[in-house]
Amino acid sequence: MDKLTEIMTHKRREIAPLLRPVFADELAEINRRLPRPPSFLSALRRPDGKLTIISEIKRRSPSAGAIKENASALEQARRYRAAGASALSILTDMEFFGGQLADLVEVTADFSQNQPAPGVSLSNPLPCLRKDFMVHPIQVLQARAAGASAILIIVRALNDDEITALHTAATAAGLDVLFEIHNEDELHRAVQHKAKIIGVNNRDLAIFKTDLGLSERLIPLFPKHVVAVSESGFNTGADAARARKAGAHALLVGEALMRAADPAALIADFQSA
């Protein structure tokens, strides 16, 4: 069993006790009732054309092992905001990445501080992606309740009916979706599902091998209206320059920023690409 299959098998088993029908009116109601989260989509295109940086909070991973095992999600999020990140990616999977939904709740609550009236955008928070292995709309409902601005859909991990259900639920809940791909077939599927944001994961989640050449090959094939994200494998400005040259609008960076003594310097290095 490859690693992604192992993770997805565990995730389906983990959420099984929570499963129940989630209806469109329930999703629409929570979207009306809660303050509108900041737009993840809008945050990924800078007017000056520089790369935007989605800074990830990730304590460990199957490929890297322990990264920053005891890191406070709130403290890390504040460091990233001060460092100039455009958005956050918050791992909420415990088994493989050491995260939890409470991390997302804590960060978004801190960013919002004084809650505005329902339907009014929060004042100057960073949009947060719930980074998890999504398989059912109940997780979308959780994400919206926790203050997320977007969810992740890993195309290779899901069939088309599951993707449709998740995408439809996210739209009803007022959330953006990052479609993650790893090859041309998955890109085609994401486009068929009318993806507005597509990320190339340079790390093969089956074997956890990283190759920046994937973004260089796949991003030029994206439709022009799609926001292009390159994910994983960035350590230097030279790495970022490769993705930028390929047409990436944003980078999603986890391990390097979690380990960085000065995240602001590293983000500036990436943006100089």
Distance of CA 152 to the CA centre of its chain: 5
The pLDDT value recorded for residue 18 is 96
Range of lowest pLDDT (18-32, 66-80, 197-211): 197-211
Judged against a pLDDT cut of 90, whether residue 15 lies above it is answered with: yes
User: What single DSSP character describes residue 86?
Assistant: S
Whether the predicted pLDDT of 205 surpasses 80: no
CATH number for region 3-17+40-271: 3.20.20.70
Tell me what the mean pLDDT of segment 153-179 comes to. Answer: 98
- pLDDT digit string, tens, across residues 56-94: 999 999 888 999 989 999 999 999 999 999 999 999 999
Q: For residue 219, count CB atoms less than 10 angstroms from its CB and return exposed for 0-12, middle for 13-18, buried for 19 or more.
A: buried
pLDDT at 39: 97
Q: What is the SS3 string spanning 27-52?
A: HHHHHHHCCECCCHHHHCCCCCCCCE
Q: What is the mean pLDDT of the chain?
A: 93
Residue 124 above 70 pLDDT? no
Q: Give mean pLDDT, residues 103-110.
A: 96
pLDDT at 122: 42
In the numeric block, the tokens 């460990």 are attached to 60
Distance of CA 117 to the CA centre of its chain: 26
Residue 227 pairs with which residues in a beta bridge?
197
Q: What is the mean pLDDT of residues 95-103?
A: 97
Q: What is the pLDDT of residue 106?
A: 97
Report the share of the chain in percent with pLDDT over 70: 95
Residue extents of the structural domains in the chain: 3-17+40-271
pLDDT of residue 115: 46
Question: What is the average pLDDT across 89-103?
Answer: 97
Neighbours of 74 (CB within 10 A): 15
What local confidence, expressed as pLDDT, does residue 46 receive?
Answer: 87
Q: Is the pLDDT of residue 47 over 90?
A: no
What is the rounded CA–CA span in Å between residue 86 and residue 64?
25
Does the pLDDT of residue 201 top 80, yes or no? yes
Contacting residues for 115 by C-beta, under 8 A, at least 6 apart: 35, 122
* pLDDT tier for residue 143 given thresholds of 50, 70 and 90: very high
Q: What is the mean pLDDT of residues 171-200?
A: 98
Confidence of residue 119 (pLDDT cuts 50, 70, 90): very low
The per-residue pLDDT for 123 is: 45
